């Protein structure tokens, strides 16, 4: 998306002929054509020219040539000395506990200017909507100066109690510009630009072709935009940036910062060297080389009287050099500059807002500073405003500040009836990426420029003579972009009603708290939660590196063994497979799907029956009688495992975008069948050379390493509670199976009918490979071989995502006692609001029973310091939320009764189970000592209970009978019958789902218990049926998963604020799904566990022990390792 400010500049460049014309004051252009010079925002001389043109167009003021250096009478400034109390139009912090309904959105203005514009015709309302023609940043046009005081664009988030409005400094609210201006206003006001005719006149004076040039509207394309960027960021001292690079200047700026009253909001940003943000934790790496601060368009940092009299722009952006070009001779001065600003950074009263606070806080604290006064994170605010931007623009500062719909005041997207966040016409320039501004094309060997663009190191940009001023302009502007974004988002959130769940709203009302808008929700929950997450990141969690090192050795050995099993099987079928890369999807694809038709068979050829792969000749292979020495590459010829010139009998079900059969890990899983099943049967039949291993150990790990915390449904794992094996006997022939005799075993297990093999596969959980080889033994070996390949991939996931990274210095460092602590990144970046974790992704660890290498055992307390862990986990949280939201009587009763919820679900679904219970042929559950006197329902009716368990999750998350039929491999009619039985006992859930879908279609969003919204624009459109179906499923999923996130968030805030836990020295370390981990003194572990449970059972205020219609059940333990506490 093009940024408005840059597009305007590009338009000027495109309209202006390349000639040697002089500027409006007769001076020859310096550094380019008049068009280029008129576009330069960073040149003071050009700003004077722009101001003069605006004066002439809006009141006939004398020209710049006639009046400079004397300032026109209407532009007098009266600037107070640093440290004096000044009333500025700026944001003020609000008490997080206050309600937006208790204060007025009105207010008055206070200006730092003594004089106002006294001449010039009033601008029309229509003119205020015209874009500015190359108006310098923060430079007020004449039209803007004539807006009545009552119609100023104002920060939307500021609130001032009426009683104190006359005595306190505050920021007034935004209001839309709707009436024709009639009186002068403060000069700081950002310009909405001159009327269309005036803009055309300006363009004409610049040598442009006027509005009649059709090509001028879009700036002339990418080349013009690049020229506009270059024009906006010239390597000259920017007049609106105050540069601090000496101790004296730092002392003056710090004194100015500390002179502001409590509650003032400052937007801040840092630039950092010596860090790879893709792999390094900012808790362990990075050096801040500069920081910038911005507090609004009237707050300046070093304006001189002479500059003010000449009408120069205010130096509103503060840029501080904390590195001083790495000059060792000035290292002491650099440290002194950093220390000078300590009182500002550590002030709780002065509020600082950031974009991605998690990063900036940690790198700043590496300077030895304590970061306090957290005022907001615009990244979190943007996610609360619009949760759908992850795939619709993103949440980077560049993307958000360049979003015209968001940054154009008065154009509320998420509000209920419009935003009061600002008036139309404010010219807010979006952030430009470093790549566009400083990227350099790589040079090819022939000396020409290539397509790839690389960035120089940031410290080179800061000290390089050809980039320093552009760098300062760029980095300082980040703080301004953050401030502008904060202002706009705060206004948007205030305009959005928070529709809390009635029970939750009542709980807060009991404590005297009203959450009426999403701004209230942000201040009450996400703001302190954002600070808490960074606290947890900074503390980190201790890891046992020796345990991980031993696990790595074992895992790598197991992985190699799994690869060898697959390779040995493949070599029996295709001898050349001895030299294949078993990790290559294309080579495995050739073995399993050679000759398969392309999905677009009318347009594309099938896969070849034989394919040659060029592979590195690492083994020094040579063709006898042909090669005299090994070549670098080897021709690897592969055909299908069914023989040369033989087409694969497998029928592909999943295809790549190119139309060929996919060979991803999920596909291989499907081909092999249930994990470890074939190997177990081979062992029973004596057909294994080595003892059987349980390959199902790793089935809970996501193969792509992605987070599983934000899905439309739960990650359904195989039910291990299958009970006694009720399968029919394994078919055998009359021939005996000799002990260890492979050939005899194969003969004995030969089956002539492929249909019989397919029936066996369906019955016992084998994949399609089982029936594709003609005999039971060969089918089992094929399933086992491919299952081994899946196993190797699962081990690789564990190694690459957990075991190896957890030992790396990239994300961990020793604390003062020498204990290594991992500092992962915790983010609110899922559409439902669930937390995600990066570096490493702790949300995606294997299930406890499948944690073969006991990764959780590596996470431990600092035992040497006398500490231990408390691990607390919600039980069936999402199903309980569903019962509450749907007010489902059957589910509520089942939860109140306790016991095995899934068995109770099966009991309600199947009449024959009810009959068995009534006839005392089985027990619903057993809590007595010893063995139960009768079989349990979960054992006798394992299949029915398994389906009930799947339905409890799948239907609750909007999965249809069509999707379930694919999962179960049954007809849609049979799946519909099972679904109907589930709903027959829970009609309230069906009604609630219908209501959620209707809400998504009517409003375009659904809400959580805290009133957070998930935008679902596709639910309102039927153009893309697949996208609409996904959105309607999300309409059911989001209120459940999102509300679970709300409850976990509220619980963590209560735990963090609990005075008892604080007094005993307990602190939060980690949250994974519905589980929290704390560390503290061993002697108070039992008391801490009980306090944590109490906070989690009543997460919102603690006043209501049962805030929902069902109890929130919490299981908590304390132990020295995470593994032992589970």
At residue 573, what are phi and psi to the nearest 5 degrees?
-95, -40
DSSP 922-982: SBS---SSSS-SS-BHHHHTHHHHHHHHHHHHHGGGT--HHHHHHHHT--HHHHHHHHHHH
Q: How does pLDDT run across 126-158, given as a tens digit for each residue?
A: 332 233 333 333 333 333 333 333 333 333 333
Of 29, 192, 168, 161, give the one whose Cα is nearest residue 87: 168
Calpha distance 815→821 (Å, rounded): 7
- Integer CA distances (angstroms), 873 to 380, 868, 1071, 1114, 1125, in order: 25, 17, 10, 6, 10
**What angle, 0 to 180 degrees and rounded to 10, lies between the N-to-C axes of helices 961-968 and 942-954?**
140
Calpha distance 88→33 (Å, rounded): 39
Contacts of 34 (CB under 8 A, 6+ apart): 16, 19, 21, 22, 23, 206, 207
- Integer CA distances (angstroms), 1073 to 836, 1056, 1124, in order: 9, 18, 18
What is the helix (H) or strand (E) element at residue 268, kind and residue range? strand 265-273
Of 845, 1049, 970, give the one whose Cα is nearest residue 383: 1049
Residue 812, classed as helix, strand or coil, is strand
Q: For residue 505, what is the DSSP state?
A: H
Give CA angle at 780 (779, 786), nearest 5°. Answer: 90
Calpha distance 242→256 (Å, rounded): 12
Calpha distance 286→944 (Å, rounded): 56
Decide if 186 contacts 46 (C-beta within 8 A): no
Is the torsion defined by CA of 96, 100, 102, 108 positive or negative?
positive
Q: Is the peptide bond before 472 cis (omega within 30 degrees of 0)?
A: no
pLDDT at residue number 601: 74
| Count of helix runs (H) and strand runs (E) in the chain | 40, 21
Calpha distance 661→669 (Å, rounded): 14
Calpha distance 949→964 (Å, rounded): 13
Calpha distance 881→900 (Å, rounded): 17
Calpha distance 950→964 (Å, rounded): 9
The low-confidence residues of the chain, meaning pLDDT below 50, are 1-92, 94-220, 414-427, 692, 694-748
* Structural class in CATH, domain 497-543+815-888+1005-1020+1035-1126: alpha beta
If one counts every other C-beta atom within 10 angstroms of the C-beta of residue 26, the result is 9
Calpha distance 264→349 (Å, rounded): 8
List the end-to-end C-alpha distance of the chain, in Å, as a whole number: 48
Contacts of 1066 (CB under 8 A, 6+ apart): 870, 1078, 1079, 1080, 1081, 1084, 1088
DSSP 113-174: -S-----SPPPPTTGGGSPPSSPPTT---HHHHTS-GGG----TT----GGGTTTS---PPP
What is the helix (H) or strand (E) element at residue 353, kind and residue range? strand 351-354
Calpha distance 1070→872 (Å, rounded): 11
Of 705, 132, 229, give the one whose Cα is nearest residue 473: 229
Of 48, 96, 88, 53, give the one whose Cα is nearest residue 68: 48
Decide if 115 contacts 186 (C-beta within 8 A): no
**Strand intervals (E) in 595-728:** 610-616, 633-639
Decide if 1012 contacts 833 (C-beta within 8 A): yes
- Specify the length of the chain in residues: 1126
Most distant CA pair in the chain: distance in Å? 115
Calpha distance 224→841 (Å, rounded): 42
pLDDT at residue number 1096: 97
Calpha distance 199→1017 (Å, rounded): 37
Give the CA dihedral 996, 1001, 1004, 1005, nearest 10 degrees: 10
Give CA angle at 842 (837, 848), nearest 5°. Answer: 150
Calpha distance 128→243 (Å, rounded): 33
19 exposure class (CB count in 10 Å sphere: 0-12, 13-18, 19+): exposed
Q: Is the peptide bond before 69 cis (omega within 30 degrees of 0)?
A: yes
R_g (Cα) of the chain, nearest Å:
34
Q: For residue 797, what is the DSSP state?
A: H
- Integer CA distances (angstroms), 167 to 13, 108, 160, 162, 740, in order: 48, 11, 11, 10, 95
The predicted model scores a pTM of: 0.76
If one counts every other C-beta atom within 10 angstroms of the C-beta of residue 444, the result is 11
Domain segments of the chain: what residues?
A: 497-543+815-888+1005-1020+1035-1126, 548-713+737-802, 892-985
Of 264, 354, 273, give the one whose Cα is nearest residue 534: 354
Decide if 767 contacts 761 (C-beta within 8 A): yes
If one counts every other C-beta atom within 10 angstroms of the C-beta of residue 911, the result is 9
**What angle, 0 to 180 degrees and rounded to 10, lies between the N-to-C axes of helices 44-57 and 196-205?**
130
């Amino acid at each position: 998306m093009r940024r408005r400010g840059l597009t305007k500049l590009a338009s000027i460049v495109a309209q202006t002929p390349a000639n040697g014309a002089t500027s409006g004051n007769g001076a020859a252009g310096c550094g380019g054509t008049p068009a280029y010079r008129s576009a330069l925002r960073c040149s003071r001389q050009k700003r004077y020219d722009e101001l003069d043109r605006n004066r002439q167009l809006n009141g006939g003021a004398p020209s710049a040539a006639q009046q400079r250096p004397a300032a026109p009478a209407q532009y007098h400034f009266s600037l107070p000395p640093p440290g004096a109390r000044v009333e500025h139009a700026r944001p003020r912090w609000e008490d997080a506990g206050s309600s937006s309904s208790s204060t007025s959105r009105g207010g008055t203005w206070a200006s730092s200017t003594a004089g106002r514009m006294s001449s010039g015709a009033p601008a029309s309302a229509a003119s205020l909507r015209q874009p500015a023609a190359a108006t310098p940043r923060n430079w007020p046009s004449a039209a803007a100066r004539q807006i009545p005081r009552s119609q100023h664009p104002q920060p939307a988030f500021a609130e001032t109690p009426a009683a104190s409005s006359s005595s306190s400094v505050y920021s007034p609210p935004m209001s839309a510009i709707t009436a024709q201006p009639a009186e002068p206003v403060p000069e700081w006001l950002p310009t909405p630009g001159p009327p269309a005719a005036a803009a055309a006149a300006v363009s004409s004076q610049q040598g442009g072709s006027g509005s009649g040039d059709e090509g001028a509207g879009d700036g002339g394309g990418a080349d013009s935009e690049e020229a506009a960027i270059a024009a906006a960021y010239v390597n000259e001292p920017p007049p609106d940036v105050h540069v601090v690079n000496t101790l004296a200047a730092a002392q003056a700026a710090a004194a100015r910062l500390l002179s502001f009253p409590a509650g003032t909001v400052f937007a801040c940003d840092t630039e950092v060297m010596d860090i790879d943000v893709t792999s390094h934790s900012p808790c362990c790496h990075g050096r801040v080389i500069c920081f910038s601060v911005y507090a609004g368009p009237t707050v300046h940092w070093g304006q001189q009287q002479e500059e003010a009299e000449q009408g120069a722009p205010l130096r509103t952006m503060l840029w501080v050099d904390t590195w001083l070009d790495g000059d060792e001779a000035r290292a002491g001065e650099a440290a002194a500059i950093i220390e000078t600003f300590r009182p500002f950074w550590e002030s709780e009263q002065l509020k600082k807002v950031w974009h991605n606070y998690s990063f900036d806080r940690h790198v700043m604290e590496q300077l030895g500073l304590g970061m306090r006064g957290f005022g907001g994170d615009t990244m979190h605010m943007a996610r609360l405003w619009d949760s759908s931007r992850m795939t619709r623009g993103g949440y980077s500062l560049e993307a958000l500040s360049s979003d015209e719909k968001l940054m154009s005041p008065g154009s509320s997207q998420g509000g209920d009836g419009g935003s009061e966040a600002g008036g139309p016409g404010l010219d807010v320039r979006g952030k430009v990426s470093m790549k566009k501004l400083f990227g350099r094309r790589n040079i090819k060997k022939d000396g020409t420029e290539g397509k790839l663009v690389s960035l120089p190191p940031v410290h080179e940009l800061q000290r390089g003579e050809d980039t320093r001023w552009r760098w300062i302009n760029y980095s300082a502007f980040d703080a301004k972009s953050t401030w502008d974004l904060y202002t706009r988002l705060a206004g948007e959130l205030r305009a959005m009603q928070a529709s809390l769940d009635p029970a939750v709203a009542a709980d807060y009302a009991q404590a005297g708290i009203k959450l009426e808008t999403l701004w209230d929700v942000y201040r009450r929950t996400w703001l302190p939660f954002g600070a808490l997450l960074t606290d947890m990141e900074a503390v980190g969690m201790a890891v046992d590196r020796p345990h991980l090192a031993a696990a790595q050795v074992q895992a790598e050995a197991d992985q190699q063994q799994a690869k060898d099993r697959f390779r040995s099987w493949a070599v029996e079928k295709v001898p050349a497979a001895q030299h294949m890369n078993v990790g290559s999807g294309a080579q495995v694809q050739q073995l399993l799907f050679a000759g398969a038709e392309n999905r677009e068979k009318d347009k594309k050829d099938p896969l070849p029956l034989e394919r040659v792969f060029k592979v590195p000749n690492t083994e020094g292979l040579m063709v006898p009688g042909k090669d005299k020495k090994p070549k670098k590459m080897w021709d690897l010829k592969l055909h299908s495992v069914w023989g040369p010139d033989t087409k694969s009998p497998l029928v592909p079900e999943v295809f790549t975008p190119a139309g060929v059969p996919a060979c991803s890990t999920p596909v291989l899983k499907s081909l092999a069948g249930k994990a470890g099943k074939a190997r177990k049967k081979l062992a029973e039949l004596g057909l294994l050379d080595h003892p059987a291993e349980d390959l199902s150990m790793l089935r809970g790990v996501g193969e792509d390493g992605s987070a599983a915390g934000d899905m439309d449904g739960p990650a359904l794992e195989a039910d291990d509670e299958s009970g006694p094996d009720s399968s029919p006997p394994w078919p055998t022939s009359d021939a005996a199976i000799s002990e260890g005799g492979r050939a005899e075993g194969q003969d004995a297990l030969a089956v002539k009918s492929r249909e019989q093999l397919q029936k066996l596969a369906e019955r016992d959980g084998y994949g399609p490979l089982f029936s594709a080889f003609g005999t039971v033994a060969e089918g089992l070996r094929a399933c086992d071989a491919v299952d081994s390949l899946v196993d190797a991939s699962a081990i690789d996931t564990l190694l690459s995502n957990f075991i190896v990274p957890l030992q790396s210095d990239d994300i961990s460092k020793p604390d003062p006692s020498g204990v290594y602590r991992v500092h992962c990144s915790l983010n609110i970046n899922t559409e439902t609001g669930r937390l995600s974790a990066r570096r490493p992704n702790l949300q995606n660890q294997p299930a406890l029973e499948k944690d073969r290498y006991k990764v959780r055992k590596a996470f431990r307390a600092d035992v040497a310091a006398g500490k231990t862990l408390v691990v607390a986990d919600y039980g069936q949280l999402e199903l309980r939320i569903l019962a509450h939201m749907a007010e489902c009587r059957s589910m509520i009763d089942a939860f109140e009764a306790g016991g095995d919820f899934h068995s109770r679900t099966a009991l309600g679904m199947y009449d024959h189970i009810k009959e068995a219970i009534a006839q005392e042929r089985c027990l619903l559950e057993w809590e007595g000592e010893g063995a139960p006197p009768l079989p349990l329902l979960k054992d006798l009716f394992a299949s029915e209970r398994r389906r009930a368990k799947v339905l409890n999750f799948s239907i609750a998350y909007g999965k249809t009978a069509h999707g379930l039929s694919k999962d179960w491999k049954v007809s849609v009619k049979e799946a519909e019958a099972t679904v109907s039985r589930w709903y027959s006992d829970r009609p309230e859930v069906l009604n609630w789902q219908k209501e959620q879908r209707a809400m998504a279609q009517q409003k375009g969003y659904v809400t959580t218990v805290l009133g957070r919204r998930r935008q679902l624009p596709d639910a309102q459109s039927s153009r893309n049926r697949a996208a609409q179906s996904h959105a309607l499923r999300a309409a059911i999923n989001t209120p459940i998963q999102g509300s679970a996130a709300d409850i976990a968030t509220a619980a963590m805030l209560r735990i963090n604020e609990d005075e008892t836990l604080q007094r005993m020295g307990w602190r939060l370390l980690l949250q994974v799904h519905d589980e929290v981990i704390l560390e503290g003194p061993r002697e108070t572990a039992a008391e801490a566990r009980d306090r944590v449970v109490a906070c989690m059972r009543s997460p919102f205020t603690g006043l209501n022990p049962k805030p929902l219609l069902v109890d929130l059940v919490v299981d908590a333990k304390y132990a020295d390792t995470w593994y032992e506490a589970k």
